[in-house]
Structure 1
Amino acid sequence: MAAEHSRDKDAREKEDDELSIPRAALNKMIKELVPNVRVSNDARELVLSCCTEFIHLVSSEANDICNKQQKKTISPEHVLGALESLGFGAYKEEAYAVLQEAKAVAAKKRRQSTRLENLGIPEEELLRQQQELFAKARQEQALLEQQEWLAMQQAAQAAAQQQQQQQQPQQSVPQLNDSNNDEDDYS
């Protein structure tokens, strides 16, 4: 029986290790709460263990309250009730304030995400407008590419003409022969 109890305890400890607060978050909280105090690693581990145990305790009590009310989801009221029944009633007010703040942040995020819905323009119309903008952008891009191609062709033609002019031997100026003047014929 003792060996079985020892195995259960080891399993719970291993499970507790897996379900804990991230150390980085805990270190940040400690630094914010006591910025000018050095805290040893052992003390940090002890705080981590206490926090984890506290969360387990409150969660378990909130679950019991939830089950007694025949509910399937733990609500904030169950957690506040758990604090009271565990003797942490002094923290209820602060916990409630944090709950209200979290709800306000969540509501703000929801309002921002539904901003598109609040425009009053049906999604089909927005999609049509988007497709028009894409088509216009494609046309403008094609026109730019065509202009660049024409400019390259003109530059190539100009270069070819210049090269052709440089390759042609320079012709001498033709001399005028006066064939009408037979008097100069010395034959």
Structure 2
Amino acid sequence: MEDNIGSDDGSIKEQDRLLPIANVGRIMKQILPPNAKISKEAKETMQECVSEFIGFVTGEASEKCRKERRKTVNGDDICWAMETLGFDNYAGPLRRYLHRYRDLEGDKANQDRQ
């Protein structure tokens, strides 16, 4: 039996709501020593956790946008949601990264125009 969320009309398959396991494994390997091995079970567990976390934070940000009658969730909304949900230790660095990213993208756009 296929694990679906919702009904057949517009439902989301379980595998479609999860981050690709290869990407999760690659991120996990970056922090481990080169000779470390990661079990399939560990990758699947982390895949579930990070996918659930992303959905949790995005849902909070989406609710904020809905209340403000906006259709697009942006990086600031995600930072706000992280702070609102008590992830202040992560929201600050994420906000700094977002500003740095925007600065670099702005610089790149300016160079493309010249």
TM-score per shorter chain, which class? 0.7 to 0.9
Q: Alignment partner for residue 32 of structure 2, among 6, 31, 34? A: 34
Deviation of 1:82 (Å) = 1.0
* Corresponding residue number in structure 1 for 2:56: 57
* Corresponding residue number in structure 2 for 1:18: 16
Letter in 2 for 1:65: K
Which TM-score applies when normalising by structure 2?
A: 0.76
- Percent identity between the two aligned chains: 26
Deviation string 1:119-165 (CA, Å, 9 cap, x unpaired) is xxxxxxxxxxxxxxxxxxxxxxxxxxxxxxxxxxxxxxxxxxxxxxx
* Corresponding residue number in structure 2 for 1:48: 47
Q: Which entry has the higher C-alpha Rg, 1 or 2? A: 1
Letter in 2 for 1:25: N
Structure holding more helix per residue: 1
Residues 76, 95 of structure 2: 8 Å contact kept: no
Deviation string 1:99-128 (CA, Å, 9 cap, x unpaired) is 1232234234323432xxx2xxxxxxxxxx
Residues 66, 74 of structure 1: 8 Å contact kept: yes
Letter in 2 for 1:40: S
Structure 2: runs of 5+ lacking an equivalent: 7-11
Deviation of 1:20 (Å) = 2.6
Write the distance in 2 (CA, Å) between the matches of 1:109 and 1:20. Answer: 32
Report the 3-state secondary structure (helix = DSSP H, G, I; strand = E; otherwise coil) of the residue aligned with 1:79: helix
Structure 1: runs of 5+ lacking an equivalent: 1-6, 119-187
